[in-house]
Structure 1
């Protein structure tokens, strides 16, 4: 039986058209100038192409970027790839690690953590709101390569069940209120990463980190500028996202 990850395909076409679809779901897939049946698309090898009403489309396997940005159903703000990749490195996430997360939200970063820790690692993720918990569960199942995510439908203000975690990532409204709980869950010298959208949240969080025995290693904002894909007129895109969030990184100090 194919995993959710294996059945996703990316269709690309003229004028920047891109669409991520699931070939395991029998349906008609809408295109700018017609349709293709998903069972027909399933017969097109990745890297191959097909034609609809005179227009050629190409088929690619779905990578994590396209799944998160173009397929994953979201009802919350997500951790974007430009932050996600940096967080993974700063938290030293690697195969076999045990990592905690709160809140799960739509599960976009959870799937990144799941892949990074691999089949021998574990991701323990907490989400207080039941509707987000159920949505994230579906999204994680839709792209999971490994059965390594443990989901909790509760707030970490009620306590974190795990101990001696290698790292923890916080994306909650008031992280300064749960730093003490996260400290209990982390192993000595464990990594902590926090994402907040406003500068005043950074200040409150830093105060709490200092009060709870953490070494603050970095506060950073990651900017990204894309370029138009026209070789003859290479220039930045007219619009860019100016801000998505501030990242705070810290390490747990001795008792």
Structure 2
């Protein structure tokens, strides 16, 4: 059963006005914000979901952080894949518990974390990146979330092939994903899923052509647009600023 009360050492998501913070509760410590400080000691022993007040009397709520909250605070050296795109990739990749997933272009490990949580202890994630610093950052981020036990990280270029087999899904975030299509086909199960994320349409074109040449089927290419709203009585409208174009997803199925 999940811990329902805040303990000394618990990670907590603080919602304070329009700001949010993920902090570790340490008895006796104070967390300073734009609306006064938070006395960590007052949270200990209280249920998650409770309201408290800062030193200046502003109300805030303390929740258990979700994986999305942790990922948004990841240390990073490159832009991470946005949740809206990650959701599409996880669904089109049909990623589920117990699977063996190959991910190339781990970056800071955002998508790696989502995949690792889904495949669980009976699954395995093989994460590759050509940059050793990216692998180090990914390892550090996953260790904090206790998600490293079912993840194997390697420095390597998957366009040169990999020494793996029976991979259920391959997930790519590479500058040249089309170069990995044929080399990775050898390690896939006979009807495995292929998913790739690319920021430009010319990358999509080259990837789709490579998939067709390699006898993949059910090839799809699409873009996910997220439109948030300001909801007010008799004045609901789309937010002025938002996340529009981030990239394109290409998906396909292997075929022998």
TM-score by length of structure 2 reads: 0.89
Q: Which residue of 2 aligns with 1:218?
A: 220
Unaligned runs of 5+ in 1: none
Q: Which residue of 2 aligns with 1:58?
A: 61
Contact 1:195 1:248 in 2 (8 A): yes
Tell me: CA distance 1:23–1:181, structure 2 relative to 1, closer, same or farther (3 Å): farther
Contact 2:142 2:148 in 1 (8 A): no
Is 2:113 aligned against 1:130? no
- Distance in 1, Cα, partners of 2:176 & 2:162: 16
Q: Which residue of 2 aligns with 1:164?
A: 166
Q: How far apart are 1:161 and its partner, in Å?
A: 2.2
- Residues 146-173 of structure 1: per-residue CA shift (max 9 Å, x gap): 7211111222134312111011101000
Q: How far apart are 1:7 and its partner, in Å?
A: 3.6
Q: How does 1:69-148 map to 2 (within 5 A)?
A: 69=72, 71-145=73-147, 147-148=149-150
TM-score by length of structure 1 reads: 0.89
Tell me: CA distance 1:19–1:203, structure 2 relative to 1, closer, same or farther (3 Å): same
- Secondary structure of the 1:178 match is helix
How many residues were matched structurally? 249
Q: Please tell me the root mean square deviation across aligned C-alpha atoms, in Å.
A: 2.3
Tell me: CA distance 1:85–1:144, structure 2 relative to 1, closer, same or farther (3 Å): farther
Q: Which residue of 2 aligns with 1:241?
A: 243
Q: Which residue of 2 aligns with 1:30?
A: 32
Q: Which residue of 2 aligns with 1:151?
A: 153
Tell me: CA distance 1:40–1:135, structure 2 relative to 1, closer, same or farther (3 Å): farther
Q: Which residue of 1 aligns with 2:48?
A: 46
- Distance in 1, Cα, partners of 2:159 & 2:29: 43
Unaligned runs of 5+ in 2: 3-8
Q: Which residue of 2 aligns with 1:193?
A: 195
Q: Which residue of 1 aligns with 2:6?
A: none
Contact 1:111 1:144 in 2 (8 A): no
Higher helix share: 1
- Residues 65-85 of structure 1: per-residue CA shift (max 9 Å, x gap): 22222x212221212111111
- Residues 209-247 of structure 1: per-residue CA shift (max 9 Å, x gap): 122221242111011100114345321100122201111
Q: How far apart are 1:18 and its partner, in Å?
A: 1.1
- Secondary structure of the 1:45 match is coil
- Residues 146-201 of structure 1: per-residue CA shift (max 9 Å, x gap): 72111112221343121110111010000111111211121101100010010111
Contact 1:106 1:139 in 2 (8 A): yes
